[in-house]
A and B are shown apart, each in its own frame.
Chain A
Amino acid sequence: MKIIINDTEYDCKEGQKVLDVARANGVHLPTLCFNPLNAQARPAGCRLCVVEVLEGGWPGLQSSCTLPVADGLKVSTRSRPVYDQRREVVELLLSEHEQDCRNCFVSGDCVFSELCREYDINGVSVCSECPNRRQGCLLSRGVLCLGPITYANCNAYCTRRGYNCEGCHSVMKNEDLLRFGLAAFAKAEFTKEEILEAARVFSFDGVKVLEKVMVEEGFK
């Protein structure tokens, strides 16, 4: 039996799912709920593995982990609707996610920050990409690092190399995320003015939100 993924033909067997065929042939499909150690259990819960069925099946977006192969099935893993759908899924998942990235043990190797980079989402702080927690966060070493309040997607280029984050991807405009970030500064003994002064170099709107949150949180 043969199916077509992204205009390329792949051999497959009766009973396989599209995700298995894609994985076996090195076609990238992101998943969060699929566990290769327990491949029988397929909750189809994260909805990140969606593909667009173009021919030979029910047309539209379907989760590839539960989509059985059929002769003449033609799917796309990178069409515009797929991209938009996945982007929305990541945003929804993030809205439910406890984002205390600075204290999280997967920081520096976080699947969410990877997805944010891939789907161009401003949703996580530099801390989620920064591996320094293991050797000691720059803030706890007395360096004013803007990582906790700055949007990621740079793969923490500077902090990985031991330099403080200057906040060049701009200060986050999301109040909830800023609250988590400010908690990091509270322990590090920087004054409100010092943080705002550093944040103003690359941000304008974000700093306004930051000031508001600082007042609400009673940050000094």
Chain B
Amino acid sequence: MKEININVEHLTRVEGHGNIILNARNGKVEKVMWEVSEAPRLFEAFLRGKPYHQLAQITSRICGICSIGHTLASLKATEAAMGIEISQQSQLLRRLAIHGENMQSHILHLGYLISPDLFGTGSVVPLVRTHTDVVLAVVKLHRLANEFSEVVCGRTTHPTNLIPGGFYKTPSPLKLKEYRQKLLDLVGTAETVAGIILDNAGALPDFTRETEFIALTAKDEYALYDGVIGSTDAGTYPVEEYASVVNEFVVPQSTAKYCKNKREAFMVGALARFNLNHDKLSPLAKKWAEKFGLKPICHNPFMNNVAQLVEFVHSIEDSVSLIDRLLEDYKDEPRPEITPKAGRGVGAVDVPRGILFHDYTYDKEGICKQANCVIPTNQNHNNIQHDFEAFAPQLLDKPEKEIELNLEMLVRAYDPCISCSTHFLNVEWKR
């Protein structure tokens, strides 16, 4: 029988550094491993001793893709710790911000990182020649998402407009109106891209492994900005109890911590959100979910890509209705003034890759004493490892190149942001 040794050192088309290792002999998998080799980032240590108004600025630099999500989670934690209430208008504007980021991130992942797998090329560059229209449509959508984020957040990445208590400068209502129209104009383009992905969705492998899904959930909306922690296995938890949900632990092959709740692993991300909150999606998003045959509870991790597409459509539609609600009674709000207070607060936001927690403790001057950030990719690593263990034996009779591609596609489906998820750990090795 043949021997298979696959060692993908530094998987491409993901953010950060991760390795795939597979050794098989005589039709049996001897070792299959998802290794995270990124160096620790030390962000939680940076935060200690910093004043409350700098924390969002610093944590947004954890990631260039989820910077808006990190900012929002950080602000929510600060606001929870100091008991700051924010206005209804700011709440809605922040929902627009998270929609902007969701669109940015999902179209980047689907258009540039996943489409090469669907069309069977190594990267998006050859597609420019063969599928010019698709690539141009993707660029157009990505551009709109970037510009929309800039209008609401002040910058496309690392937002300057979001500050504790509300907004530095209320976004201009004229701009919001302009982008409402632009979003509506691009619904057609989004549907064209979705159609093309649907035509090529056959390239996504059919693989299921039952697992637990965790995401924010709310009664009256498709939860992204606000809600409680929901699980497909165990109902809901308040956000403050996040530590007993994620249960972080350390494994030797990874600089990122692993997580588990009720089962051996759980998944977060677009698919988890879809599985928990599908009935609150916008009508057009529901239509596309149906076209792809995406039904809750879907246990195929590859369908995370499809869930992202569905969410993209939802974000466009929901942004338009949010802008309508906002413009009914839009005020230029003054910059919030804050008196720091001692306390501890947890902020949870569902960012493109899943549920994100920030947890800060402040002293009475508003200086951060302790910080903890639990990043979505972190929570997915364990599930990726378990998917590997279940998926690899099914692949063994295929050629080595194809096994490699399938395993790579599995990791990519999670849209991992590996460099965000690595933290400094004090590991005591027992030898």
- Against A, the Cβ 8 Å flags (1 = close, 0 = not) of B37-54 are 000000000000011001
Q: Given A157, A163, A168, A197, which contacts B168 in the complex, CB threshold below 8 Å?
A: A163
Q: How far is the CA of A162 from the CA of B169 in the complex (A)?
A: 8
Q: State the Cβ distance, B159 to closest chain A Cβ, in Å.
A: 9
- Against B, the Cβ 8 Å flags (1 = close, 0 = not) of A153-182 are 000011001111010100000000000000
**What is the chain B residue whose CB lies nearest that of A168?**
B158
Residues in A neighbouring B161, C-beta threshold 8 A: 163
- Against A, the Cβ 8 Å flags (1 = close, 0 = not) of B50-66 are 11001001100000000
Q: State the Cβ distance, A132 to closest chain B Cβ, in Å.
A: 14
A201 interface residue (CB < 8 Å to B) = yes
* Interface contact A197-B169, CB-CB below 8 Å: no
Decide: A163 near B154, CB < 8 A? Known: A158-B160, A197-B51.
Answer: yes
Decide: A201 near B58, CB < 8 A? Known: A158-B155, A161-B154, A163-B161.
Answer: yes
* Interface contact B155-A166, CB-CB below 8 Å: no
Residues in B neighbouring A163, C-beta threshold 8 A: 154-155, 160-161, 168-169
Decide: A201 near B154, CB < 8 A? Known: A163-B161, A163-B168.
Answer: no
**What is the chain A residue whose CB lies nearest that of B159?**
A163
- Against B, the Cβ 8 Å flags (1 = close, 0 = not) of A31-74 are 00000000000000000000000000000000000000000000
Residues in B neighbouring A168, C-beta threshold 8 A: 158
Q: How far is the CA of A168 from the CA of B169 in the complex (A)?
A: 20
Q: Given B50, B51, B160, B169, which contacts A166 in the complex, CB threshold below 8 Å?
A: B160
* Interface contact B51-A157, CB-CB below 8 Å: no
Residues in A neighbouring B154, C-beta threshold 8 A: 158, 161, 163
- Against A, the Cβ 8 Å flags (1 = close, 0 = not) of B318-350 are 000000000000000000000000000000000
Size of interface on B: residues with Cβ below 8 Å to A: 12
- Against A, the Cβ 8 Å flags (1 = close, 0 = not) of B281-296 are 0000000000000000
Q: How far is the CA of A164 from the CA of B155 in the complex (A)?
A: 12
Residues in B neighbouring A161, C-beta threshold 8 A: 154-155, 160
Residues in B neighbouring A164, C-beta threshold 8 A: 160
Q: State the Cβ distance, B311 to closest chain A Cβ, in Å.
A: 28
Q: Given A157, A158, A162, A201, which contacts B54 in the complex, CB threshold below 8 Å?
A: A201
Q: How far is the CA of A84 from the CA of B155 in the complex (A)?
A: 33
Q: State the Cβ distance, B48 to closest chain A Cβ, in Å.
A: 13
Residues in B neighbouring A197, C-beta threshold 8 A: 51, 54
Q: How far is the CA of A157 from the CA of B159 in the complex (A)?
A: 12
Residues in A neighbouring B160, C-beta threshold 8 A: 158, 161, 163-164, 166
Q: How far is the CA of A157 from the CA of B158 in the complex (A)?
A: 12
Decide: A201 near B57, CB < 8 A? Known: A163-B160, A163-B169.
Answer: yes
**What is the chain B residue whose CB lies nearest that of A194?**
B51
Q: How far is the CA of A161 from the CA of B169 in the complex (A)?
A: 10
* Interface contact B155-A157, CB-CB below 8 Å: yes
Residues in B143-187 with C-beta less than 8 Å from chain A = 154-155, 158, 160-161, 168-169
Residues in B neighbouring A198, C-beta threshold 8 A: 54
Among B50, B155, B160, B169: residue with most chain A CB under 10 A = B160
Residues in A neighbouring B169, C-beta threshold 8 A: 162-163
Residues in A neighbouring B168, C-beta threshold 8 A: 163
**What is the chain A residue whose CB lies nearest that of B168?**
A163
Q: How far is the CA of A215 from the CA of B154 in the complex (A)?
A: 35
Q: How far is the CA of A11 from the CA of B50 in the complex (A)?
A: 64
Residues in B neighbouring A166, C-beta threshold 8 A: 57, 160
**What is the chain A residue whose CB lies nearest that of B335?**
A143
Q: How far is the CA of A158 from the CA of B168 in the complex (A)?
A: 12
A-B contact pairs, 12 of them (CB 8 A): A158-B154, A158-B160, A161-B154, A161-B160, A163-B154, A163-B168, A163-B169, A164-B160, A166-B57, A168-B158, A197-B51, A201-B54
Identify the B interface with A (CB < 8 A): 50-51, 54, 57-58, 154-155, 158, 160-161, 168-169
Identify the A interface with B (CB < 8 A): 157-158, 161-164, 166, 168, 197-198, 201
- 19 more A-B residue pairs beyond the given contacts A161-B155, A201-B57, with a C-beta to C-beta distance below 8 A: A157-B155, A158-B154, A158-B155, A158-B160, A161-B154, A162-B169, A163-B154, A163-B155, A163-B160, A163-B161, A163-B169, A166-B57, A166-B160, A168-B158, A197-B54, A198-B54, A201-B50, A201-B54, A201-B58
